[in-house]
Amino acid sequence: MTAPGPTGGAAGTAGGLRAALAERRFAVTAEIGPPRGADPAAVAEKAALLRGWVDAANVTDNQGAHVRMASLAGSLLAARAGVAPVMQLTCRDRNRIALQSDLLAAGALGIPHVLLLTGDHPCFGDHPDAAPVFDLDSVQLVWAARTLRDEGRLLSGRTVAPRPEFLIGAVENPFAPPVRFRAARLGKKIAAGAEFAQTQFVFDVPGFDRFMAAVRDRGLDGRCAVLAGVGPIRSLAALEFVRTKVPGVYVPDEVVRRLRGVPRDRVAAEGVRLCVETIEALRAIPGVAGVHVMAFGYERGVPEILERAGFRRDRAGRLPVGGGVGAG
Amino acid sequence: MSASEQPHPTRPSIAASTGYRLGRVLAPNRAYRWLAGRIEARPRLRRWFTAAERHSKQRLFGCRMCGQCALPATGYACPMSCPKQLRNGPCGGVSANGDCEVYPGRRCVWVIAYERAERAGHSADLTLLQRPVDHRLAGSSSWLNYWQGRDEGLWTSDDGLAHPAPVHRP
Ligand code: SF4
């Protein structure tokens, strides 16, 4: 394959999040969870639903500490299907040798964006007996990625050539205690090299507004594109699940009341409406550069949500045009 | 707790102010450096000294003897007692009530660290970037390493936002 260009990345996905942010368009990203199995079509199908609707899609890294196809492979498959991938990489399962090696692999394969995070503890997953690695933390991993890309050096100090070219992303949870430290923590990730950040689900818009005010006060909004996390709650069972089983998700009482207040067969529609309204509210908050739609298992619903929120299927993400990894 | 157990968030048993005071007492100087050299020259004495640090800091902070102590920059709450051993602040999974996601019922050590540092007027310490841990130092005395200057540059001198800080120790 030819070397990836700074805006291109994996073949067939010219544009992507980097282009959206460079053009100062309101960015849209979504999520693709790779399958538990070796079926490449599972990724392609999810990508096909999102293609054109999103600037890029995160490919999760053994999300929730459950074994899935590797995010690097999932990212390649998404790119082949015409969606610019954001390869997630967590500190949970790899030491600094493996992490840097995966970053080089991402660079070699033209993965245009990486999202570097701590990761859920193995105790939440399907292998609670696994060793929790956590050799680096997420700030250190972002720092290592920037060093690799901008200085062409490993943590050991040894040089690498050529350097990877990906955009570096991180995550933040505006709602997790200590809440007043969260903007500062995002600042640490920015100081380490994060250029975009996706947040945990926003159900509490005023709370998120306060977080963004703190982000702006620190002058961080001009240095990092903040993409607010959103997603539809489509059943009362799902509501209970995100409230009690997903670490770090906060659902305010009024949202709970609203979803419980409609007839059971209307919860899904109400959840989608709430999600659309949330996106509209988030767009109005200064410093919000985009939204990140997490609709676990409901990828087919993402286009409807985006359409109702006023977006069109006009985002880069053409089918691959031969050459490189996209030619599959 | 013993260091061989899984790390779990530990509330220090001494006040942060006492920690900062102790920190000043232990600040490296020529005498300490000389002392560290003498202790390190005698294996038995070194083992005894290291055991003394282990016992006292385990009781006070839940210390896990990483050998490169972060306490002065973390409100004197030990980040290695975090189940994810995070050195740069809390993860995103902290419960609404401030409990650790892995050990419900135990307060996140970074929430504790933030509260202690803030009360002591040290919250800016938490914005410093902590460099990756050197696992070769595990089990060794952080005091000896500190006095001998082996842990210099464990964290950056400022928040790194104005000028990118190198990830490599200076
Ligand atoms: S030496 Fe390491 S493990 Fe012990 S208290 Fe200090 S930071 Fe914690």
- pLDDT recorded at residue A80: 96
Contact B83 A184 (CB under 8 A): no
Task: Pick left, alpha or beta for residue A317 (phi over 0 → left; psi -120 to 50 → alpha; otherwise beta).
Answer: left
Tell me what the mean pLDDT of segment A225-243 comes to. 95
- pLDDT recorded at residue A317: 59
- Alpha helix segments (H runs only) across chain A: 16-22, 40-50, 71-80, 96-108, 138-146, 182-192, 205-217, 236-244, 253-260, 267-283, 302-308
Tell me what the mean pLDDT of segment B83-94 comes to. 97
The band of B108, judged by pLDDT with boundaries at 50, 70 and 90, is very high
Residue B57 beta carbon below 6 angstroms from any ligand 1 atom: yes
How close A322 gets to chain B, by Cα (Å)? 39
Cis peptide bond N-terminal to A162, omega within 30: yes
The band of A299, judged by pLDDT with boundaries at 50, 70 and 90, is confident
Q: What tens digit of pLDDT does each residue of A300-314 get?
A: 999 999 999 999 999
- pLDDT recorded at residue B152: 92
Q: Is the pTM here over 0.80, yes or no?
A: yes
Residue B70 beta carbon below 6 angstroms from any ligand 1 atom: yes
* Domain residue ranges of chain A, discontinuous segments joined by +: 16-172
Return the SS3 of A301: helix
**ipTM associated with this complex:** 0.97
The best mutation among B4, B49, B63, B130 to test binding of ligand 1, ranked by most ligand atoms within 8 Å of the C-beta, falls on B63
- pLDDT recorded at residue B1: 44
- pLDDT recorded at residue A244: 87
> Are A207 and A176 in contact, with CB atoms under 8 Å apart?
no
Cα-to-centroid distance, B59 and ligand 1 (Å): 12
User: 3-state SS string over chain B?
Assistant: CCCCCCCCCCCCCCCHHHHHHHHHHHCCCHHHHHHHHHHHHCHHHHHHHHHHHHHHHHHHHCCCCCCCCCHHHCCCCCHHHCCCCCCCCCCCCCCCCCECCCCCCCECHHHHHHHHHHHCCCHHHHHCCECCCCHHHCCCCHHHHHHCCCCCCCECCCCCCCCCCCCCCC
The pLDDT mean for chain B works out to 96
Mutate to test the interface with A, among B84, B95, B156 (most CBs of A within 10 A): B84
Q: Which fold does the domain A16-172 belong to in CATH?
A: TIM Barrel (3.20.20)
